[in-house]
């Protein structure tokens, strides 16, 4: 009997060890650090951490874009950071500059491809509330394209979507059928004179 | 009903025959002669009404259509021989054999002494199919068109509308044309071999004296009256492939000066040469694109002025001025408050083989102070490799059926503009220079941008922002005749310089590198 009991105890011990190995040990060690660590980090760190990014606004005379250094919430991974930058770009402008994006425009979604193309899906306010000016339209497009490509070198090109769809243009001028690269020629040159009397 | 009418006609014919005494010798008054229009020109073909039927003398037809005929006494009929085919007619029978096929004519041939008469439809039903000719018999205009001649139908009407008189011409099918003022008349020249025209009589002789055929086969002349001030011509599509030309002739209001740009362009001896405008050939067709329209208002001024209305007003003025002063054909991408897709605008220019494309716009800014005109042409940087490929597309030699090879130009149609960047830049410079003399310019007056309306244009193309509607002062300017005419003057002068440059290049033997158009 005692021998039988010893065999049963050994078998039970082996079984328990096997179950422990399967349920706890192997998953934790084969996928190191995956679930438990990251949520805690982003939940606690994100509201506090900020990065400094160059955002783009319309100059005082309305004839060019101007870059301004602004604090933007930290985001990780990169697609998350891209969202934070676009959301900041959609927000208000610093004093004396004007936002290049029509007010009320919201970011619906942002995707990144492996090739470094970002797809920025904006609400239709970006079209319906646009001034309709060709220059303003260039500024709207390149404020977003430049904010992403200048601050996040991994992003090479940007295509703007409206309400989830590809569009020809925002207001009838700028060709949006292809992803666009960074273009700094719409920025004010160093010698932009301030307008007198305003 | 039909038999009764027929018998009535028969009765009338009999009555006339009785009155005149001889049945056919002195048939009822001959209707107006037909005209036969062929490569040889326009020749008259008299007709006669016999027993209620309009008929041609077979002898006349034989001369015009080059056939022979002989009587066949035994059969009681006659045989027409044309291009080794025969048509057999029988006296008193509406049936004939044409090239072995039985056909029916609207009346039997009539013979009177040695002369034979056949009904008008003998031409279209018997002669044309047997001789394999293309013949178009137009009874209302009494015209017979032979062969592949372009003889559009033109019908007109004149309506007095207050200070202006409107002449509307329906042209079927729609036919390219120019409208130009030549001294005291307006001349409409059609790209056609002849016109099948029914022209209206004038009801406002002090403005339009007369509308008549002009000198040339496909020309209409409008004699202007003493109160003529200026005119405006526009093209509209009409039903079933027809076109509509609307010419508004403005009368002078008392002693007031004409409002539209009717002065000759100011002589500018110090014009810079435009050597970059390389393609040979004259300036024939310009497409003017009035920006936005229909559901797309475009920019809006603080006083409520809409960009789409400003662009259309300037486009119409520009068309009239270009036609009158440069004599070029001008096509508008829209001549009303229509929604037109951006693709369609360039496509219209491509399909009409336009030599230049200009898109008119008014600007807007979040900054109410922004002011001044700007001229844009396409930038290619944004299009990456596609643009480079389109710009440097060369012809490829492709094998063809039956041996040999043929050079075919392979270009990316969507990027057609890529090959014209240099010329578009020169056009932008010409426009900027001549606008600068007339209207305020922005600090960055010439710019390049990836504009959707330009990229598909297969010719030099620019987009002109005439001023900022969001600037209250400029909004007033943009709505004013004075400013609009200043822009029109500037553009006409620029186009005329471009034309001179092209002419100069054309005379000196053509460009070395210009795309073959």
Q: Are residues B289 and B211 in the same domain?
A: no
- Separation in Å, CA of B363 to nearest CA in chain A: 5
Can you give the length of chain B in residues? Answer: 517
Return the structure tokens found at B511.
């460009």
Write down the pLDDT at residue A193: 39
- Separation in Å, CA of B105 to nearest CA in chain A: 59
Could you count the other beta carbons within 10 Å of the beta carbon of residue B444?
14
The chain B residue lying nearest A192, using CA atoms, is: B443
The span from the CA of A18 to the CA of B511, in Å, is 87
Classify the phi-psi angles of B49: left when phi > 0, otherwise alpha if psi is within -120 to 50, otherwise beta.
beta
Question: How many CA atoms within 13 Å lie on the side-chain side of B362?
Answer: 31
Could you count the other beta carbons within 10 Å of the beta carbon of residue B405?
10
Interface test with A, best of B382, B383, B445, B448 (most A CBs within 10 A): B382
Write down the pLDDT at residue A13: 63
| Residues on chain A touching B306 (C-beta within 8 angstroms) | none
Return the structure tokens found at B9.
């006609």
- For B468, list phi and psi in degrees, rounded to 5: -100, 115
Indicate the Cα dihedral angle A178, A184, A185, A189, nearest 10°: 160
| Residues on chain B touching A172 (C-beta within 8 angstroms) | 291-292, 296, 298, 342, 452-453
- For B50, list phi and psi in degrees, rounded to 5: -125, 120
- Separation in Å, CA of B374 to nearest CA in chain A: 10
Return the structure tokens found at A59.
């100059």
Write down the pLDDT at residue A163: 93
The span from the CA of B277 to the CA of B461, in Å, is 12
The span from the CA of B60 to the CA of B69, in Å, is 12
The answer to whether the beta carbons of residues B98 and B129 sit under 8 Å apart is yes
- Of B446, B375, B376, B453, which is closest to residue B417 (Cα–Cα)? B453
Q: Which of A132, A176, A195 sits opposite B364 (nearest CB)?
A: A132
Q: Are residues B346 and B489 in the same domain?
A: yes
The span from the CA of B419 to the CA of B389, in Å, is 10
Is B457 strand, coil or helix? coil
The answer to whether B364 contacts A133, with C-beta atoms less than 8 Å apart, is yes
- Of B278, B147, B154, which is closest to residue B211 (Cα–Cα)? B154
The answer to whether B382 contacts A175, with C-beta atoms less than 8 Å apart, is yes
The answer to whether the beta carbons of residues B82 and B130 sit under 8 Å apart is yes
CATH code of the domain containing B42 = 3.30.457.10
Residues 399..458 of B with a Cβ closer than 8 Å to A: which? 442-444, 449-453, 455
The answer to whether the beta carbons of residues A178 and A159 sit under 8 Å apart is yes
**Which tens digit of pLDDT belongs to each residue from A136-146?**
999 999 999 99
| Residues on chain A touching B300 (C-beta within 8 angstroms) | 132
The answer to whether A135 contacts B363, with C-beta atoms less than 8 Å apart, is yes
In a domain, B279, yes or no: no
Q: What is the sign, positive or negative, of the torsion defined by CA atoms of B423, B428, B431, B436?
A: negative
Per the listing, tokens 């029916």 go with B104
Query: Does B381 touch chain A if contact means CB atoms closer than 8 Å?
Result: yes
Q: Which of B111, B146, B181 is the last residue of a domain?
A: B146
The answer to whether the beta carbons of residues B457 and B413 sit under 8 Å apart is no
- Of B63, B16, B68, which is closest to residue B43 (Cα–Cα)? B63
Whether the link from the prior residue into B173 is cis, omega within 30° of 0, is yes
Query: Does A183 touch chain B if contact means CB atoms closer than 8 Å?
Result: yes
Write down the pLDDT at residue B75: 67
Interface test with A, best of B365, B378, B472 (most A CBs within 10 A): B365
Q: Are residues B44 and B179 in the same domain?
A: no
In a domain, B23, yes or no: no
Write down the pLDDT at residue B156: 85
Q: Are residues B367 and B411 in the same domain?
A: yes
Write down the pLDDT at residue B244: 87
**Which tens digit of pLDDT belongs to each residue from A12-65?**
666 656 555 555 545 444 444 434 434 444 444 445 689 999 999 999 999 999
Compare B57 and A192 and report the one with higher pLDDT: B57
In a domain, B10, yes or no: no
The answer to whether A131 contacts B374, with C-beta atoms less than 8 Å apart, is no
- Separation in Å, CA of A170 to nearest CA in chain B: 11
- Of B271, B347, B273, B354, which is closest to residue B319 (Cα–Cα)? B354
Residue B164's DSSP bridge partners are: B161, B250
- Separation in Å, CA of B393 to nearest CA in chain A: 21
User: Measuring CA to CA, how many Å separate B42 from each of B39, B61, B123, B152?
Assistant: 8, 14, 17, 15
Residue A4 binned pLDDT confidence (cut-offs 50, 70, 90): low
Per the listing, tokens 């119409």 go with B316
- For A182, list phi and psi in degrees, rounded to 5: -55, 140
Per the listing, tokens 């030599």 go with B355
Write down the pLDDT at residue A34: 39
- Separation in Å, CA of A49 to nearest CA in chain B: 33
The span from the CA of B45 to the CA of B36, in Å, is 7
In a domain, B264, yes or no: no
User: Whole-prediction pTM value?
Assistant: 0.54
DSSP state of B383: G
DSSP state of B306: B
- Of A128, A138, A152, A151, which is closest to residue A180 (Cα–Cα)? A138
Tell me the residue range of the domain where B102 lies: 30-146
| Residues on chain B touching A169 (C-beta within 8 angstroms) | 342, 452
Helical H runs in B117-275?
Answer: 121-122, 128-131
Give me the number of domains chain B comprises. 3
Interface test with B, best of A65, A92, A127, A135 (most B CBs within 10 A): A135
Q: Are residues B128 and B174 in the same domain?
A: no
CB pairs under 8 A between A and B: 98
Write down the pLDDT at residue B281: 55
Q: What is the sign, positive or negative, of the torsion defined by CA atoms of B314, B320, B325, B330?
A: positive
| Residues on chain A touching B465 (C-beta within 8 angstroms) | 134-135
The answer to whether B450 contacts A180, with C-beta atoms less than 8 Å apart, is yes
Q: Are residues B126 and B157 in the same domain?
A: no
Is B322 strand, coil or helix? helix
- Separation in Å, CA of A100 to nearest CA in chain B: 8
Per the listing, tokens 């107006």 go with B32
Write down the pLDDT at residue B405: 60
Helical H runs in chain A?
Answer: 2-20, 26-30, 37-45, 78-90, 125-128, 134-151
CATH code of the domain containing B400 = 3.40.630.40
The answer to whether B382 contacts A181, with C-beta atoms less than 8 Å apart, is yes
| Residues on chain B touching A98 (C-beta within 8 angstroms) | 366-367
The span from the CA of A142 to the CA of A100, in Å, is 9
| Residues on chain B touching A176 (C-beta within 8 angstroms) | 452
Q: Are residues B172 and B37 in the same domain?
A: no
Supply the ipTM of this predicted assembly: 0.73
CATH code of the domain containing B219 = 2.60.40.3500
**Which tens digit of pLDDT belongs to each residue from A107-128?**
999 999 999 999 999 999 999 9
Write down the pLDDT at residue B254: 56
Query: Does A61 touch chain B if contact means CB atoms closer than 8 Å?
Result: yes
- Of B418, B404, B430, B487, which is closest to residue B454 (Cα–Cα)? B418
The span from the CA of B346 to the CA of B344, in Å, is 6
The span from the CA of A146 to the CA of A151, in Å, is 8
Q: Are residues B370 and B242 in the same domain?
A: no
Q: Are strands B243-251 and B164-172 parallel, antiparallel or unpaired?
A: antiparallel
The span from the CA of A139 to the CA of B280, in Å, is 38
User: Measuring CA to CA, how many Å separate B179 from each of A163, A164, B102, B207?
Assistant: 47, 48, 49, 17
Write down the pLDDT at residue B278: 36
For residue B497, give the H/E element and its range.
helix B481-507
Write down the pLDDT at residue A2: 57
Question: How many CA atoms within 13 Å lie on the side-chain side of A180?
Answer: 30
Compare A192 and A70 and report the one with higher pLDDT: A70
The answer to whether A61 contacts B470, with C-beta atoms less than 8 Å apart, is no
| Ranges of chain B with pLDDT below 70 | 1-30, 75, 239-240, 253-281, 385-414, 503-517
């Amino acid at each position: 009997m005692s021998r039988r009991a010893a065999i049963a105890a050994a078998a039970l011990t082996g079984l328990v060890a096997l179950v422990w190995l399967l349920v706890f040990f192997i998953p934790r060690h084969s996928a190191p650090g995956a679930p438990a660590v990251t949520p805690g980090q982003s939940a606690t760190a994100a509201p506090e951490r900020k990065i400094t990014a160059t955002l783009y606004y319309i100059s005082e005379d309305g004839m060019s874009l101007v870059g301004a250094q602004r604090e933007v919430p930290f985001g990780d991974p990169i697609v998350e950071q891209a969202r934070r930058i676009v959301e900041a770009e959609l927000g208000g402008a610093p004093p004396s500059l004007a936002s290049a994006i029509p007010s009320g425009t919201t970011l619906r979604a942002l995707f990144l491809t492996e090739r470094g193309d970002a797809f920025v899906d904006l609400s239709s306010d970006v079209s319906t509330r646009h001034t309709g000016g060709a220059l303003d339209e260039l500024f709207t497009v390149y404020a977003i394209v430049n904010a992403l490509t200048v601050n996040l070198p991994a992003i090479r090109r940007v295509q703007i979507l409206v309400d989830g769809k590809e569009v020809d243009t925002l207001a009838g001028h700028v060709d949006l059928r292809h992803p666009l690269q960074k273009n700094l020629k719409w920025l004010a040159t160093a010698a932009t004179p301030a307008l007198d009397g305003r | 009903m039909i038999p009764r009418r027929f018998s009535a006609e028969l009765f009338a014919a009999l009555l006339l025959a009785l009155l005149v005494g001889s049945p056919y010798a002195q048939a009822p008054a001959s209707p107006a002669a037909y005209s036969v229009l062929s490569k040889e020109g326009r020749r008259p073909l008299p007709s006669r009404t016999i027993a209620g039927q309009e008929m041609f003398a077979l002898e006349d037809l034989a001369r015009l259509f080059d056939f022979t005929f002989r009587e066949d006494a035994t059969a009681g009929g006659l045989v027409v021989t044309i291009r080794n085919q025969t048509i057999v007619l029988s006296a008193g029978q509406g049936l004939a054999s044409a090239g072995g096929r039985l056909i029916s004519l609207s009346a039997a041939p009539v013979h009177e002494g040695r002369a034979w008469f056949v009904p008008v439809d003998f031409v279209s039903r018997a002669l044309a199919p047997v001789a394999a000719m293309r013949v178009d018999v137009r009874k209302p205009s009494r015209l017979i068109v032979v062969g592949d001649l372009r003889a559009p139908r033109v019908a007109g009407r004149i309506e007095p509308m207050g200070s202006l008189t409107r002449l509307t011409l329906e042209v079927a099918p729609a036919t390219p044309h120019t409208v130009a003022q030549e001294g005291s008349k307006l001349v409409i020249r059609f790209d056609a071999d002849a016109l099948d025209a029914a022209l209206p009589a004038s009801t406002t002789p002090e403005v339009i004296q007369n509308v008549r055929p002009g000198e040339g086969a496909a020309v209409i002349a409008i004699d202007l009256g003493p109160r003529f001030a200026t005119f405006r011509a526009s093209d509209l599509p009409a039903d079933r492939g027809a076109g509509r030309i609307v010419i508004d002739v403005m009368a002078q209001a008392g002693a007031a000066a004409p409002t539209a740009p009717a002065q000759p362009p100011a002589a500018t001896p110090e014009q810079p040469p435009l050597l970059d405008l390389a393609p040979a050939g004259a300036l024939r067709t310009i497409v003017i694109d009035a920006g936005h329209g229909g559901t797309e208002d475009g920019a809006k001024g603080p006083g409520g002025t809409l960009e789409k209305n400003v662009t259309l007003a300037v486009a119409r003025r520009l068309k009239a001025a270009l036609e009158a002063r440069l004599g070029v054909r001008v096509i508008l991408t829209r001549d009303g408050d229509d929604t037109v897709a951006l693709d369609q605008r360039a496509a219209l220019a491509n399909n009409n083989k336009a030599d230049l494309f200009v898109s008119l716009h008014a600007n807007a800014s979040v900054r109410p102070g922004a002011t001044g005109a700007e001229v844009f042409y396409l930038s290619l940087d944004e299009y990456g490799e596609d643009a480079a490929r389109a710009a440097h597309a060369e012809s490829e030699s492709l094998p063809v059926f039956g041996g040999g090879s043929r050079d075919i130009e392979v270009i990316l149609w969507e990027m057609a503009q890529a090959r014209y960047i240099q010329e578009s830049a020169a056009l932008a410079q010409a426009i900027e220079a001549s606008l600068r003399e007339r209207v305020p310019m922005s600090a960055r007056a010439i710019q390049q941008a990836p504009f959707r309306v330009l990229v598909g244009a297969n010719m030099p193309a620019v987009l002109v922002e005439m001023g900022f509607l969001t600037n209250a002062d400029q909004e007033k300017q943009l709505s004013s005749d004075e400013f609009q005419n200043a822009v029109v003057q500037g553009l006409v002068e620029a186009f005329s310089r471009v034309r001179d440059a092209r002419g100069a290049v054309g005379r000196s033997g053509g460009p070395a590198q210009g795309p073959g158009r």
